[in-house]
């Protein structure tokens, strides 16, 4: 029977973890209390001891427990816990609670769980930037408000709600989708919404279309699902995360963008969606070196910077080099009349010279083969004709 795994450093958070365990068991859900403390001190009665978890480290228990260097011990336990999680077959859901160290430990193991397995993490750092902990995964983080240091009127409420939430997720399964259509990934941004919505409508009778917001983690999530075989291929119309990687914006998917897709060997259709913009936060957060650039205030929290011809040349070469490594069939489509909603005549980012530099760099870098082709189209990225061209290219590589 699937169990709720309650995970944490039982030598310091035992009372809080057992409080959540008791509440979950009261709902009828079976539990497993796992100690991932690194001090080597007794964590009390548990179902899985820290030593048992540590034994899953490739180099053995000794590199995990009782070490003087706490940072290295935590890193080693996180690795051991990941191996432990992958070895279990009865995890119906997982919950943890604690500070930054505990959050690193538990989140690392949670990221090894499949998509859809409930994951709840109560943390003192959940009100800040949680991207390093969550990544491209479905981890639900709850801010603890007070420190997870004893049971009081605040921690009882927060921990109790989280425990009941996990129990509810485990007890009430999400209904299986009636459809059995293959899934494909699509990348979208606000300024390419018309393009991707039209693609989705054209394909939704044949495919389960999973749309990913190109905000860094969106691209990572799409590629993770591709690597795991969850999707049958991608229509990567919005590659804007490359702008932020190369120019220091806030929505970078990292240096590994495209790598999982390249290695997966799946059908791939890509385009230049939103390569005209680098994303920053509020206007005052824009680096001083960009002060005189063409800036568009999208809203109070998002500022966009138009990419220059030289930046577009660099992006074209970077993307082209990545596409040359793909092992599966590739079609990369160029929308000659503009790459985003605001890259069009009389719009703030209209810059044919910058786009020409991008398109030329792609043409000069991509090595065309029988399975890898670069195709120009005399349309804007959001034109219905361009969406139809993306779909036609998909049908060509997917057959």
* Per-residue pLDDT tens digits for 166-177: 999 999 988 876
pLDDT of residue 135: 86
Question: Which ranges in 172-293 belong to alpha helices (H)?
Answer: 193-203, 217-227, 241-247, 259-264
pLDDT of residue 100: 87
Write the CA distances from 157 to 29, 51, 121, 171, integer angstroms: 20, 31, 15, 21
How many whole angstroms separate alpha carbon 341 and alpha carbon 276? 10
Predicted TM-score (pTM) of the model is 0.78
399 residues of the chain, pLDDT tens digit each = 799 999 999 988 999 999 999 999 999 999 999 999 988 788 789 999 999 999 999 999 988 987 778 788 889 999 999 999 999 999 999 999 998 888 999 999 999 998 889 999 999 999 988 988 998 889 999 999 999 989 999 999 999 999 999 999 999 988 876 568 999 999 999 999 999 999 999 999 999 999 999 999 899 999 989 988 889 999 999 999 999 999 999 999 999 999 999 999 999 999 999 999 999 999 899 999 998 999 999 888 889 999 999 999 999 999 999 999 999 999 999 999 999 999 999 999 999 999 999 999 999 999 999 999 999 999 999 999 999 999 999 999 998
Residue 156 in tokens = 């009882």
How many whole angstroms separate alpha carbon 114 and alpha carbon 13? 26
Q: Is 191 helix (H, G, I), strand (E, B) or coil?
A: helix
pLDDT of residue 178: 55
Among 17, 6, 10, smallest CA distance to 151 is for: 17
Torsion of CA 316, 322, 323, 327, to 10 degrees: 180
Domains of the chain: 3-171 (3.40.50.12020), 183-398 (3.40.50.12030)
Bridge partners (DSSP) listed for residue 277: 306
Instruction: Please state, as a whole number, how many other Cβ atoms lie within 10 Å of the Cβ of residue 28.
Output: 9
Length of the chain: 399
Among 372, 89, 399, smallest CA distance to 258 is for: 372
How many whole angstroms separate alpha carbon 263 and alpha carbon 228? 11
pLDDT of residue 177: 65
Can you point out the beta strands (E) in the chain?
3-8, 31-35, 91-98, 119-123, 140-143, 183-188, 208-213, 234-236, 268-271, 277-280, 295-299, 302-306, 330-335, 372-377
Residue 133 in tokens = 């902990």
How many whole angstroms separate alpha carbon 151 and alpha carbon 384? 58
How confident is the model over 327-348, as pLDDT tens digits?
999 999 999 999 999 999 999 9
Residue 167 in tokens = 């129990």
């Amino acid at each position: 029977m699937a169990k709720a795994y309650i995970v944490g450093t039982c030598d310091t958070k035992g009372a809080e973890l057992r409080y959540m365990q008791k509440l979950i068991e009261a709902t009828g859900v079976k539990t497993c209390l796992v100690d991932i403390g690194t001090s080597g001190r007794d964590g009390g009665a548990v179902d899985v001891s820290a030593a048992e978890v540590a034994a899953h480290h490739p180099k053995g228990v000794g590199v995990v427990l009782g070490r003087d260097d706490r940072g290295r011990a935590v890193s080693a336990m996180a690795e051991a816990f990941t191996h432990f999680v992958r070895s279990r077959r009865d995890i119906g859901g997982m919950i943890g609670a604690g500070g930054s160290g505990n959050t690193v430990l538990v989140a690392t193991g949670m990221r090894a769980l499949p998509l859809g397995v409930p994951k709840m993490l109560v943390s003192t750092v959940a009100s800040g930037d949680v991207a390093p902990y969550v990544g491209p995964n479905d981890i639900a983080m709850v801010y603890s408000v007070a420190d997870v240091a004893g049971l009081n009127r605040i921690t009882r409420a927060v921990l109790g709600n989280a425990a009941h939430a996990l129990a509810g997720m485990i007890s009430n399964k999400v209904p299986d989708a009636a459809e059995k259509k293959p899934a494909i990934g699509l990348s979208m941004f606000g300024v390419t919404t018309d393009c991707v919505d039209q693609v989705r409508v054209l394909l939704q009778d044949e495919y389960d279309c999973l749309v990913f917001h190109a905000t860094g983690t969106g691209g990572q999530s799409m590629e993770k699902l591709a690597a795991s075989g969850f999707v049958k291929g991608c229509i990567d119309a919005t590659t804007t995360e490359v702008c932020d990687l190369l120019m220091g914006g806030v929505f970078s998917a990292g240096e590994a963008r495209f790598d999982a897709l390249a290695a997966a060997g799946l059908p791939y259709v890509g385009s230049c969606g939103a390569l005209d913009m680098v994303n920053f936060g509020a206007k005052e957060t824009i680096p001083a070196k960009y002060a005189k650039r063409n800036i568009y205030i999208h809203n109070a929290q998002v500022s966009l910077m138009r990419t220059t011809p030289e930046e577009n040349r660099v992006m074209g070469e970077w993307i082209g080099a990545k596409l040359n490594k793909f092992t599966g069939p590739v079609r990369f489509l160029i929308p000659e009349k503009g790459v985003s909603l605001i890259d069009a005549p009389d719009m703030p980012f209209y810059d044919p010279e910058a786009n020409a530099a991008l398109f030329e760099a792609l043409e000069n870098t991509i090595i065309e083969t029988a399975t890898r082709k670069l195709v120009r189209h005399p349309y804007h990225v959001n034109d219905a004709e361009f969406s139809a061209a993306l779909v036609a290219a998909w049908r060509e590589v997917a057959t």
